[in-house]
Structure 1
Amino acid sequence: MKTQPTYSTEFKIDAANLVIKQGYTTSEAPKATGAGPTAIRRWVTQLRQEFEGITPSSHAITPEQKRIQELEAQIKKIEWEKDILKKATALLMQDNIKR
């Protein structure tokens, strides 16, 4: 069974930048890096989107988008905790009214 190689974030950025900044084609970049052409195209697309400020649904590769994803996760957790507190407060208020 063949396993897919795991590439570092830095490698993905460098490989995508061969196409984006250095003028390689998506056919030449895989030969230069050893990564597959599908992976190169995916990284190029994702990096271009992240440069445009689009936060990916998968793991971000630029530090800025990684930070955005971390902050969005924190916001989601805080909102979830706030909802729990609202529900708990409502239950306590109902209990006090019944007494």
Structure 2
Amino acid sequence: METRKQYTKEFKLDAISLVLDQDHTPSEVSRSLGINANMLRRWIREYQADNTGQAFRGNGKLTPEQEEIRKLKIQIKRLEMEKRILKEATVFFAKETK
């Protein structure tokens, strides 16, 4: 079984640029780059549909909003742990003073 070829963001943007900016047809560009014309058309649709500048982020790449949510969740866990430790310390020291 053949593994899927993965293309870099720069490669995709260059291919899209050839079609959109330099007025080549998707068929011409796909033939010259050795890629499927339907795949190139899909890249163009994705690029045009994306108005956030986050097209072709790749696997594991988070949007700024997703990254902020991830950081906030980590901070919440840390604060909950600190709160639990402080409660346990309060109980411990209350027992010590009796």
Both structures adopt the same fold (TM-score exceeding 0.5)? yes
Q: State the Cα RMSD in Å.
A: 3.0
Aligned partner of 1:75 in structure 2 is 68
CA drift at 1:36: 0.8
Aligned partner of 2:88 in structure 1 is 95
TM-score (norm 2): 0.63
Deviation per CA, 1:38-84, whole angstroms, max 9, x where unpaired? 3202221232244x225348529xxxxx7x73x44642442122111
TM-score (norm 1): 0.63
In the alignment, the residues of structure 2 paired with residue 55 and residue 10 of structure 1 have an alpha-carbon distance, to the nearest angstrom, of: 13
Aligned partner of 1:11 in structure 2 is 11
Structure with higher Rg: it is 2
Residue type of the alignment partner of 1:75 = E
Unpaired runs of at least 5, structure 2: none
Unpaired runs of at least 5, structure 1: 61-65
